[in-house]
Structure 1
Amino acid sequence: MGSTPFHISRSRYGPNLRILCAALLIGLVVGALGLFLPVEMAARTIRGKLHADQASGSIVVVAVDDPSVAELGPWPWPRDQIGQIVGKLRAAGAKQIHLDIDLSSPGKPAEDAALEDALRAAKGHVSLSSRLLVDMVAGTQADTRPLPRFTRHATMANTNLWVDRDSKIWAHPYALELATGVMPSLASLLSGVQGNEGAQFPLDYAIDVRSVPVVSARDIAKGRWDSKIVAGRKVIVAQTSTGAEHYFMPGYALVPAAFFHVIAAETLIAGRPIALGWMPPLILAGMIAAIFLTLRNRTHARIVLAGGYGLFLIGPIFLEHHHIFPDIMASLVTMTVVAVVHLYKNLRRAYHVRGTTNSISGLPNLNALRQREEAALGTLVVARIQNFAEITTALPQEYERELVEQITSRFSFGTTGAAIYQADEGIFIWVAQTQNDEMLIEQLNGLHALFRSPVIVSAQLVDVTVTFGLGNDSSRPLMQRVSSALVAADEAAKEGLRCATFDPATLEDAQWKLSLLGRLDQAIERGEIWVAYQPKIDLANDRIIGAEALARWKHPEKGEIFPSQFIVAAERSGRIENLTAHVLDSAVGLAARINRSGYTFSIAVNLSARLLDKPGLIGMVEQTLARHALPAGLLILEVTETTAMASQSESFANLERLSAMGVQLSIDDYGTGLSTLEYLKKIPAGEIKIDRSFVGMLDKSQGDRIMVHSTIQLAHSLGRKVVAEGVENAATLAELRRMQCDFVQGYHTGRPMPAPALINQLPVNARETAA
């Protein structure tokens, strides 16, 4: 029962999960590529206007503006004049002065000397600009540092601005790696907030640039100013006239470059900003979208979606007020995609023909299946709930939908996403798009195992009996295949089988069916019956230590004949001994050749229940081992759990004789019969093979995990080895390794293969000898 809740979720929300994954993928692309960056930043600008802040006033701009240039001459001014301004600012009590001037080349000696004297007199309270220039053609970089005569008396600060692809400045660095080492940015220097080299922080454009204190440089030069404006404050002397660099500042159009440094410094003064980015909001949007898609009540779903939009449209206003800057466009796109696709699905569903839906369960019915006949090219699977009428009669009608949901949720484990159609009287249909009939039968065996646990309907435990019928002739009309597969499902119920295949060819060729057994003997003589070997892996060292021999029949006209057809027929007719002898001889011969190379290799052969009480069984095994000189301990005979449990008198005596010979015995399909500790202790088997129906669901069913783990522990406590068959994926293999299972078999570790293919997987020395 442990797997049922998860399975219901998967069945009900599978399409919604795909919508969510697609929307998240689109959101990831939008976020990673910044596809909506202009919209993102426009929204941030609008939010900034909604909670506009004033500058702290601790930084003053001494503006070399157009009036200053008109009165004092073109910029840059003589350096002795700059030195005079520095002296006046220091005399007025300026705490720190930054000169945003290019001092990388010599000027007139007397002017340079005057500026150097002014810097020396400032005693380290002046900082100078250094910029990194990049030649985009040559790919070279140059650091425009001031002359050493100036830098020895001043602090250095980097004044590069980082312009985004939309020609706006949204972020600023803490520091930059230059040829001479790491240099702090001017914003970091003025604010006193340090950060890692290369790290950037978002600019808070909610700070009103018009609130930054500004004094004209000409007024300082001419003494027409109130010196109190700079007392105890930090000052930037920079060009702001028409000839200065200007950039677009959101909400203010073109603004001189110096003010971007001020806004950056004011951002840090207000508190170290956190660039939340787009990934955390996208995760939150994914959670909201998942809840929206999960809710079945439309009103509640709409409230959740509206709340999500409100959260992403209004929430950033409060976050940015606390210096947390999220990017929300990827999240909004994700939720919008989910909403639009979900709306489109609802509209399609609203216009869908009601005649294609089961009125009670809402599942597509046979009419829907008829409309998709051209797509049904795989194997048709019909599941018949044998006691469906009995169940629905006992349950109130309002619970039938819940019953069907429980049933189809379990079916969906083996449908690999295929649509499930519901007909009347407990019939469920899907089309398996696979050409591997053995794998499909294994999947159906796993589904059958799920129904060993009752379903829960309205807090009632309900036992469900299911059989499966297969129709794999895609050349026939679909509805004929449905009828034929349904006949096969009913035949399986009569025969006590889990599933059966409807094979039109066997009906069309009655002579073939009647002469099957006679042809089987001829097939052995002609070599049409061959032996496939499935590797057996030792989990202690991941080494092939043996294989299971499996009979295969390739008819020159009919092609591959299902083992279930000819083996069952041979057992019923009493001709299984000849087939077993053939398989045993081939398998023992191969194992003997491999062991002669010095590579220890065991071989497992299935032993039919019909042979277990035969007097000639012991002689057949002894003669085969002697003929190929294979030690008895390297032969494993597998008997099914049901056979072993029922073995009495002569049958049990034969098991004892085989064990006394040294032949190993293995209990096959363990877990499908009436396992008891008493029988486990009595049967002389050194190995237990856990049935694939439990192993196949190991990564999905808590109940099967408990059963497998407890079986392994029980077997080990009794000195038995454990083989897990039906290992189909890496997750199952890892779980078995964690449980300390001894050996494994399955398609993940090795499919049944001809002897040469098996030999090629062995070490070179064993390979050469066995070949």
Structure 2
Amino acid sequence: MRLPVRCAPLLLMAKKLFSSERLRHAAIAIGLAVLVGVGTFLRPVDITLWSLQAKLFDRPASSEIVFVEVAAAADPGGGSAENRHLLRSIRYLREAGAERIFLDLPVRRSNSPALDRELQRELVRSADKIVLTRVVRPDLVAGRFSQGNDPFFEQDMRVVSSDYQADFLGYVWDIEASYSDGTVNLPAMWSALAANGRSREGISLDYSIGRNSVPRYKIDELQPGLGGAGILAGKTVVLGPAGTDARIVKIPGYAFGPSSLVHILAAETALRGTGQNLGWLWMIGAFGLSLVLGAIAFRRAMPRRVFYFLWLASLAATFVLTAHLGVRALFGETLVLTLVYGSLRATVNFKRRHLFVESRSKLPNFVALQRDFGEYPREQTSIVVAKIARLDAVFATLSPTDQARYLRQLASRLALGDTRSTIYYDGGKYFAFFVNSGEFQDIQEHLEGLRAVASQSITVSQRVLDVSMTIGVDESSEKSISSRLSAAIAAADQAREAYRPVFIISDFAADSEEWDYSLQARLESALSEDRISIKLQPQVDLRDGRIVGAEALARWVDEERGDVPPSRFILQCERVGRLDELTKRILSKSLYAAEVLQARDHHPRISVNVSAIQFVDSRIAELIEKNLMIHSADPAKLMIEVTETARIENFSVARGVFEQIKRLGVSFSMDDFGVASANLEAMFELPFDEIKVDQIFVRDVHHSETARAIVANVVRLARDAGLTSVAEGIEERETYDLLREMGCDVGQGYYISRPLTLSHLQEMMTLQKDTPLLRNKFG
């Protein structure tokens, strides 16, 4: 069902509002507080707070209501003494001028009918002043005190309810205006006592009215001749039992007291005009709404902190104010709101300090970048990654403090032109930030200008340090943030300072054969289902044509697209961080092939391609060692063919990884020698055993003097350096013969053999072994 058009702006506004982390946290806190309020889980907390409020203020009672206690008389004669004592007390109270008399004790028949009739006549004679009480709902009070008046005495008398309801701790906080057992409904005694107060359905007792300020006497102290004349004139008197005959309740701040005091304090509350009840929904509504408005209004840290302080102060002030006004407020749910919101914000701040912040630079890290991505519009947001070359070499000369200064200066330069931009640092050589591509007519030109500024030398502790930087950009909108970040990092790796310092990932999209956004999902499936296989292209000794090795080439036949070129899916693996997974599978299959060939008494070297970027740490060494332990292949027959050696930025680190692998007995080959200028440096810095002459020279060696000169010099260089030379791309007999004349050691190409399956390679080697004359017949 589609929503009306007029609702769309409201939904958009709501979505924008709650994209804020603080608003989401406020909504969560309010929701949990409401659930707690509905479940009434925190009433013990409210009771504790009410008890504390009762101690904050101490107000005197009105003194219009007097509590007079009647001690039980010793009566072995069946109750006549008790009724006689009650009769004398009523007469005395009436003669003393009491305006109203509430008998908060049961009036029962005795063994003296004449005395009972006299007591009944006295009650009726003073019916305008005397009010009887009784328990309507025995389930609310202790059973032994629930015995009511004898109906004989209730005739023509006004009767009220002395019921009350205590909580599980024995306190009475709220009392109803009337009580009913289903057949009779009586007004509560407190409402009759406060006849001049405001009428209401129920009341919350204001315990700031001190119990000790209620006038309280023993009847024996007021009898004629014992003083007290004039004390009761014009007063309302509650005549109740004393000592253990009374129903006992807990009164905050005063331990225990007779239940008559509960109704007297409730009446005093009504006379004072207090006793209102402020429910949890009102509290959550007021403080929850103010919290939401504050989160919207205050975006900067300092004003927001001031708001939080005032918000907490207002909560404390409300606690004191409600105690002063005698209002019973439920604070438990609001405390839940406060604690939940505070915990969520504290957790976020902790993560920002520890999990979301790079410790050295104090800049937000890439985990924080993925968290913050939701606050930006996907369609217009580009992810930019700046790669700082040779950063490890720079840091080797700096103290930790100077390293932090260097990183912060780089970050401030990358933020030039956009003060709102947040710069993220991964702790290695990558910085990242978001750019609104809609704000720039030419984002490439903008980033090239930014790079020119950011690449200026940085001065740290009076030392001038160069900055070398390439930039990668991902402009897609459909992929996840992790995929986009990986793509931007891959683009920064793909960029070259000399001729293409800013590489935009959409450049791949211009050529559908280079970048296919659906490729990643299919590649993930192929890796997880182990559907990427290998073929083996034979390498022969050019002197006698004997097969001495084979290069393992990755092959992937997609169910939808058929054969996918290795250059395409290997690059995709690199972009999305799955290169190690691909290498692991190719290495395992290659070692298995070596195992099978070795079992058939064939011992060729198996070359496995590994990207130069995988030599930044020892993971590749651990991967190779683990696979060698699984397979029984001879490590000496494993050749690691390092591709794109120009991408090695730290030869010191790479050399350590090379040596770790060579200790396993494995050899190294440099692929595509002669294509990039860094190859000579790589050959000098790293312990290679073999160099492969790139096929762009080999293919033209028979037709171009320049190509022939290059190949001849590379072969001679390899021989002088004690390395094996391998020529790849041999496609015709003339090239094969010329390379052999030049002294090249090993050849590889379609003239010799196309890539073969393991069974076909095994068959070829068996045939060549059995028929030596076939060694020089290829194609």
TM-score by length of 2: 0.48
Q: Which has the larger radius of gyration?
A: 2
Q: Which has the higher contact order (CA 8 A, sep 6+)?
A: 1
TM-score by length of 1: 0.48
